[in-house]
A and B are shown apart, each in its own frame.
Chain A
Amino acid sequence: MSKQLNLNKRPISSKIGGLLFVLPSIITVIIFVYGLILWSVNVSLTNQNSGTKKETEYVGLKNYTDLITDERFTHSLGNLVKFTVVFILGTLVTGFIMALLLEKGIKGEGFFRSFYLYPMAISFIAMGTVFNWLLNSARDEEAGGLNLALQKIGLGFLQNDWYVSQNGAMFSMAIPAIWQMSGYVLALFLAGFRGIPDDMREAARVDGASEAQIYRHVLFPQLTPTLLTILIILGHISMKVFDLIIGINGKSYVTQVVAVYMWEATFDQRNYAKGTAIAIVLLIMIAIVVVPYLRYNSKQQAYR
């Protein structure tokens, strides 16, 4: 049995056998992922609209060019950009701080870590219900929820209108999102820190580096791949944000993002052509971020 067998030189039958077993899944993915995307693209090039009884005909890229001048769409896109910036920065910083506090190991780490990670097990809709209530805009004497809590701890000046006024709306949507996703960043950074061999720290220490220098010049550079992964994961989650917004503030204009506007165009306006056009724009935005990552990843796999 110690004889070396080359796994690549298998009998033909087993190669085909492997393909046969995954064929149903391949066909399913081709139809339901790629086929339906093409179908969506096709719908987005027509004037299909169940609100009007017109014959369906092709209108070219009209639905896409209409989006450029559609105030609601540009508003949603602007909101999404604001949300993405605040959400990514906030989650990154909070998660990183959590990881820094834990990475050396501390008594009770398991306790803290378990609590820090639980928000990811809860749905955005359930959390949205809580934050919808706590982020109430009443201030000072009438204040409740988060505004009241801020007063109580002496940070009354931070009281806010939250999602009621346009200024802070996307900022207040990002708070629950940061709350929910920081644990994810913590987990990835913690794995990053602990994947660095101890010898590197020891060597730097022997060379007389201070703790701060060790972090800056030895540990942080090692975390660059982790950071890249985190940015891509958070980026695509952020662009898709839907449940969270619906859960807190429904379809309200002030907090509308691209995914929510797609829902409105489809369900309320019954304008399927417009709905698919918005969805395809969203798909392209996400593909720009994700496809290079997938390619990079598959090349890495090939070297294993």
Chain B
Amino acid sequence: MSKDIVDLITASPSARNKKRKLNGKEKFWLIFRYVSLTFIWFLVVMPIYVMVINSLKGVKNVYLTNAFKLPEKLDFSAWSVAWNGTDYFPQAISDSMTRTLFFVIQSSIISAIIGSINGYVFAKWKFRGSNIIFTLFLFGMFIPYQAIMIPLVRLSTEVGINKSIYVLVLAHVIYGIPICTLIFRNYYESIPNELIEAGRVDKASMIRIYRSIILPLSIPAFVVVLIWQFTSAWNDFLFAIFLTGGSPKLSVATTALNFITGSSNQIYYGVNMTASLIVSLPTLVVYIFLGRYFLRGLLSGSLKG
């Protein structure tokens, strides 16, 4: 198998160039690269910068004309308004945030367990037709969910689950099966078959091999899948808006934010920016601390190991 894709990305070859002294032309290109990289860096950081500085200007003093200016004095009032709400800004996001956290954690854990079992079978216990079935699974990860949404909404209404946040747990678990299976399968493919054979020689059953050989080796893949499912369910808007029907009792982070910023609160830009920032924080924190695993999940969507 080829080298791991994330290792390729993060393996900077700078070390081998270090020894030589640069001539004039090479110096020019080095400076050119740094200038360009810095310029792009400013563009990339800009929206977050706008969110952060405008969340510190208070509720009233935020105008588009000074959107890029630093606050004259720090004022955290927009944070408490966005989080708790007030009389003129009734949509607090605290409830939606806790609700999202509650359902996202559950759906990620269930998805990871299912993905691990599926991945184990598709990588190490192939049966007749398993490759075709696996490809049919993968198609489920590329479909536009609109194509199943109307029947899904009807089904959930008939079962009555649309009144509970578990409708989103189920949706993310079900439609997460393909990607979670893929990530685990690719990971288990890299585990040498000899380990399984050793277990088989010892007459261990399939489940036994999974429990005592595969599972202890699976932690990195679990982290990747947990993070991937966490991020995609947290950032999901499509399932949330269709399956909860925009009901405020079931609003999650994205639907609440969309309601806030799409409603008549357009004048409170500071609060809007703060709410966007708060909603983005959990996934940003995950990215900052576990970026490698995040990247691996992201790239598995391209079907490359």
**A155 CA to B138 CA in the complex, in Å?**
46
Please tell me if the beta carbons of B14 and A21 are within 8 angstroms of each other in the complex: no
- CB contacts (< 8 Å) of B40 on chain A: these are 94, 97-98, 101, 112, 116
- CB contacts (< 8 Å) of A10 on chain B: these are 125
Judged by a CB distance under 8 angstroms, whether A82 is at the interface is no
Q: Which one of A94, A106, A119, A282 contacts B37 once the chains associate, using CB atoms below 8 Å?
A: A106
**A183 CA to B283 CA in the complex, in Å?**
16
- CB contacts (< 8 Å) of A266 on chain B: these are 149-150
Judged by a CB distance under 8 angstroms, whether B1 is at the interface is yes
Judged by a CB distance under 8 angstroms, whether A123 is at the interface is yes
Q: Which of A51-59, A69-77, A128-136, A165-173 contacts B (4 or more CB under 8 A)?
A: A128-136
Smallest Cβ distance from A245 to chain B, in angstroms?
A: 11
Q: Which of A33-41, A60-68, A216-224 contacts B (4 or more CB under 8 A)?
A: A33-41
**A110 CA to B135 CA in the complex, in Å?**
35
Smallest Cβ distance from B233 to chain A, in angstroms?
A: 11
Judged by a CB distance under 8 angstroms, whether A162 is at the interface is no
Size range of the chain B interface in the assembly = 35 or more
**A101 CA to B189 CA in the complex, in Å?**
33
Judged by a CB distance under 8 angstroms, whether B51 is at the interface is yes
Please tell me if the beta carbons of A18 and B206 are within 8 angstroms of each other in the complex: yes
Q: Which of B160-168, B218-226, B286-294 contacts A (4 or more CB under 8 A)?
A: B286-294
Report the 8 A-B pairs with minimum CB-CB distance, sorted nearest first: A144-B64, A105-B14, A18-B125, A123-B235, A121-B287, A36-B148, A279-B146, A39-B151
Q: Which one of B36, B150, B175, B258 contacts A247 once the chains associate, using CB atoms below 8 Å?
A: B258
Quick one: given A1-B198, A262-B146, are A123 and B280 in contact (CB under 8 Å)? yes
Please tell me if the beta carbons of A115 and B45 are within 8 angstroms of each other in the complex: yes
Please tell me if the beta carbons of A125 and B151 are within 8 angstroms of each other in the complex: no
The residue on A at minimum CB distance from B197 is: A5
Judged by a CB distance under 8 angstroms, whether B63 is at the interface is yes
Enumerate B68-102 residues with CB–CB distance to A below 8 Å. 68
Interface residues of B (CB under 8 A from A): 1-3, 5, 8-15, 17, 30, 33-34, 36-37, 40-41, 43-45, 47-48, 50-51, 63-68, 114, 117-118, 120-122, 125-128, 130-140, 142-144, 146-152, 155, 174-175, 177-178, 181, 189, 193, 196-198, 200-201, 206, 231, 234-238, 241-242, 253-254, 257-258, 261-262, 269, 272-273, 275-277, 279-280, 283-284, 286-288, 291, 294-295, 298-299, 301-304
- CB contacts (< 8 Å) of B258 on chain A: these are 125, 128, 246-247
Please tell me if the beta carbons of A105 and B269 are within 8 angstroms of each other in the complex: no
Please tell me if the beta carbons of A187 and B299 are within 8 angstroms of each other in the complex: yes
Q: Which one of B15, B17, B152 contacts A32 once the chains associate, using CB atoms below 8 Å?
A: B152
